[in-house]
Structure 1
Amino acid sequence: MHKITKIDIITRPSKVEELKEALSQIDITGMTFSHVLGCGLQKGKTEFYRGTAYSINLLPKVKIEIVVCEVPVEKVVETAKQVLRTGEIGDGKIFIYPVENVIKVRTGEEGVDAL
């Protein structure tokens, strides 16, 4: 049985197209994208509206979810790091999880066959 792994990548919206293109180059064909809000070391920013300052504590990010079994996890992580790293705060995070099972609802296929 093949090992199935989920990779979550959270990064800035401006990097999504470049990341999507790089992942397709290493044969990643399925991805789920979500617009999310987050806070971390960036601590948000201060904006001014009609002369009054207010804080924006949650910044817009994009979460990319990928499940792999045949493309090595390390290859996905290295590709993402190359595309996303600017050296600035806010480049993002990568989370890696083991997946117990995958079930394709339409056909009932499970495991690697469901991918």
Structure 2
Amino acid sequence: MKYIIAIIKPHKLDEVREALAGLGVSGMTVTEVKGFGRQKGQTEVYRGAEYTTNMVPKIKIEVACTSESAGAVVEAIQAAAATGSIGDGKIFEIELVAATRIRTGEAGDAAL
């Protein structure tokens, strides 16, 4: 099993969700986060005054999937989230050792 973590631009969430639904991904966790990378923050205007923030709003998507489907999940996220400009985000793929469905006690791939 794999655990996929993607950090994307907020306005790309619906496109990514639709792409993953098209692959049959049955669930995901979405969190609003802030951070920075090569972008180094952004300039904003608030009540006529311009200021620079060092944290940029992003969306973190977490998906647990089978090892066989992980490549397709990563490709779908990358294709749906890409804008071609700096700050598109990152995708991390981590080995998932175990998963258990709380309600039924199912474990492994069956729990996904």
Q: TM-score, normalised by structure 1?
A: 0.88
Deviations 1:79-110 (A, max 9, x none): 11111122100111000000110011222221
Partner of 2:62: 65
Counterpart check, 1:40 vs 2:24: no
| Matched residue SS, 1:15 | helix
Query: Aligned-pair RMSD on alpha carbons?
Result: 1.6
Q: TM-score, normalised by structure 2?
A: 0.90
Distance (Å, rounded) in 2 between the aligned partners of 1:90 and 1:35 = 15
2:23 alignment partner, one of 1, 26, 33? 26
What is the CA-CA distance between 1:42 and the residue it aligns to? Answer: 1.0
Q: How does 1:1-115 map to 2 (within 5 A)?
A: 4-50=1-47, 52-69=49-66, 72-115=69-112
> For the Cα contact (< 8 Å) 1:28–1:71, is it kept in 2?
no
Runs of 4+ residues deviating >6 angstroms: none
